[in-house]
Amino acid sequence: MEDTILVVNCGSSSLKLALFDQNYNKIASALAERLNNTDAFARIKNVDDPVVLSANADHKQALAALVNAFRERQLMTRDPIAIGHRVVHGGETFREASPIDDATIAAIESCSSLAPLHNPVNLAGIQAMQALFPTITQVAVFDTAYHQTLPERAFRYALPDHYYRDWGVRRYGFHGTSHYYMAHEASLLLDKTPATTSIISAHLGNGCSITAIRDGLSVDTSMGLTPLEGLVMGTRSGDVDPGLFDFLAARGISAREAHRVLNNESGLLGLSGQTNDMRSLCDLADHGHEPSQLAIEVFCFRLARYIGAMTASLSRLDALVFTGGIGENSARIRRETAKHLCLLGIELDSDLNRDHGRWSDGRINAADSRYPVLVIPTNEELVIAREAARLATN
């Protein structure tokens, strides 16, 4: 019988569960959505029949139903050797993944004010799995941990000192698991070691962030105190003038309402007025929808500006790396971004870019580009599975 590892990723109203074998091949994955709603549902990937959930099922009930479904289908014939949890915010407490005990739970709770939509549901997932598997090692893998190597000049905001000392107002950065994986995978493709690899990693999905990685360590990143800062995203604005909040307050829009709009109704959705989905946006632009074309231009220009900004943290660049749903799949976004980078000497090969580097070990740069450009599919679940197994067998 094979050893397995479970990976749990709880979002505010959804969750993902993945099952890996001892060689880190994914055996099964499952999804539950619309949790705490009357039409909550769950299913295992590539299985037609849904997993039955009661109306208003919560994270705990959905996890119990999915674990049961894995067992019934003989996907998991005995308890896993480890369970890894994605946890969004580890504050300054967690510089790496951590086995979960009472002290870990208390520390995750104490970071909840920094991620009120995420940490409480991450904890709900942890507690649900502890009830289902009381003797199995559970491990928390934090989105923020990889960025704990940022130097102070990169993580501090130019605000009154006590904002940081008293309330922890600083740049934390997110998508750390993905950026860490990019550093690791890029080093393999470049025939180097992670500790000698310096890259700029652009994670472009529904959420987007970019990180400067020097000799394997995160030294600057675009997301900040919250995942709202930085690049243009699906529904998030990224950077705006902080003066906007007072300007809007004078027009009757509270800070809370402005925050909601900046998170949920801005970014590609706000600019296009149509969609937060980059693929649909490209289709609309192709059919002459000008706001969609503008949204693409703003997205690419902001990204190119940040690529330039990230070079300030590096003394050498081994590769520019694209990942995430957009970064891996959109030749157009990579091409439009690279057009702004000619001063850096970054040139793409149009054929390799169109093929997403699939026939060239991820490389999409032209032969005369000053720097390699790579497309690398991200795999945050794999990193979490490896970390969980490593800490469980330590």
Binding residues for substrate: 86
Say if CB 44 and CB 33 are below 8 A apart. no
Minimum CB–partner distance for residue 43 and ligand AMP (Å): 18
Which token pair is 7? 């990976």
Asked if 282 touches ligand AMP (CB under 6 A), the answer is yes
Return the range that interacts with ligand AMP (CB under 6 A); candidates 2-10, 145-153, 190-198, 322-330.
322-330
Asked if 293 touches ligand AMP (CB under 6 A), the answer is no
Nearest CB to ligand AMP, comparing residues 279 and 316:
279
Nearest CB to ligand AMP, comparing residues 142 and 322:
322
Return the range that interacts with ligand AMP (CB under 6 A); candidates 63-71, 160-168, 289-297, 323-331.
323-331
Minimum CB–partner distance for residue 333 and ligand AMP (Å): 7
Asked if 277 touches ligand AMP (CB under 6 A), the answer is yes
Q: How far is CA 326 from CA 179, 191, 219, 357, in A?
A: 15, 26, 24, 14
> Which one from 49, 58, 101, 143 is the annotated catalytic residue?
143
Select from 160, 137, 67, 177 the least CA-distant residue to 392: 137
Tell me which residue has tokens 């969980």: 388
- As annotated, the binding site for ATP includes 16, 203-207, 277-279, 325-329
Say if CB 105 and CB 76 are below 8 A apart. no
Nearest CB to ligand AMP, comparing residues 279 and 358:
279
Nearest CB to ligand AMP, comparing residues 34 and 332:
332
272 backbone dihedrals φ, ψ, rounded to 5°: -85, -25
Asked if 206 touches ligand AMP (CB under 6 A), the answer is yes
Asked if 267 touches ligand AMP (CB under 6 A), the answer is no
> 147-178: b or e for each residue (b if 16 or more CB lie within 10 Å)?
bbebeeebbeeeeeeeeeeeeebbbbbbbbbb
Asked if 325 touches ligand AMP (CB under 6 A), the answer is yes
Minimum CB–partner distance for residue 298 and ligand AMP (Å): 15
Answer yes or no: 58 catalytic.
no
- As annotated, the binding site for Mg(2+) includes 9, 380
Asked if 234 touches ligand AMP (CB under 6 A), the answer is yes
Minimum CB–partner distance for residue 367 and ligand AMP (Å): 26
370 backbone dihedrals φ, ψ, rounded to 5°: -65, -30
Select from 114, 112, 4 the least CA-distant residue to 17: 4
Q: Compose the 26-45 pattern: x for residues touching ligand AMP by CB under 6 A, - for all others.
A: --------------------
Exactly one of 80, 91, 205, 224 binds ligand AMP (CB under 6 A); which one?
205
Q: Residue 254, Cβ neighbours under 10 Å: how many?
A: 11
Helix axes 380-392, 176-189, angle to 10 degrees: 90
Asked if 364 touches ligand AMP (CB under 6 A), the answer is no
Asked if 358 touches ligand AMP (CB under 6 A), the answer is no
127/326 Cα distance (integer angstroms): 34
Asked if 391 touches ligand AMP (CB under 6 A), the answer is no
Number of residues that bind ligand AMP (CB under 6 A): 12
Exactly one of 224, 270, 324, 357 binds ligand AMP (CB under 6 A); which one?
324
Cβ-closest residue to ligand AMP? 325
CA atoms 118, 123, 383, 358: torsion sign: negative
21/385 Cα distance (integer angstroms): 9
Return the range that interacts with ligand AMP (CB under 6 A); candidates 8-16, 96-104, 298-306, 325-333.
325-333
Nearest CB to ligand AMP, comparing residues 120 and 325:
325
Nearest CB to ligand AMP, comparing residues 98 and 201:
201
Residues in the site for ligand AMP, rule: CB under 6 A? Answer: 205-206, 234, 277-279, 282, 324-326, 329-330
Instruction: Kindly list the catalytic residues.
Output: 143
